[in-house]
Amino acid sequence: MSDVMVAPRAKVEEKLFQNRYLVDAGRPHIKVKAHTKPSASLLAMTTLCPAGCYTQTESGQVEVAADGCLECGTCRIVTRKTGEIEWNYPRGGFGVLYKFG
């Protein structure tokens, strides 16, 4: 019964609007290193990231926009062996602020 999968990507963004964030403008805590072709692990993040932060560009590279990041760390674990991303927690006080958790 797959009648529920309507525009899931848009829906994630809508969901993120419910959350509170304090964005550390200009200091993203996750960076994708420059590459020509992403590994399978990095590419997997375009569906695996629960906040939909990863997208693939038309020329095939994977980008991250970490403003809506939920700080779960999945991308860090999945791409650890390929070393394609640089991952740190946001500076103290910044990032997602769960109201309920």
Distance CA 19, CA 29 (A): 18
DSSP 76: H
Shortest Å distance, C-beta 29 to another protein: 10
Residue 4 phi, psi dihedral angles, 5° rounding:
-100, -5
| Site residues, another protein (CB under 8 A) | 1-5, 8-9, 11-12, 15-16, 18-19, 22, 41, 44, 47-48, 50-52, 70-74, 76-78, 80, 88-93, 95-101
DSSP 36: S
- Residue number, 22 or 60, with CB nearest to another protein: 22
Shortest Å distance, C-beta 41 to another protein: 7
Question: Which stretches does DSSP call E strand in the chain?
Answer: 20-22, 30-32, 54-56, 62-64, 85-87, 95-97
- Residue number, 4 or 34, with CB nearest to another protein: 4
Shortest Å distance, C-beta 66 to another protein: 13
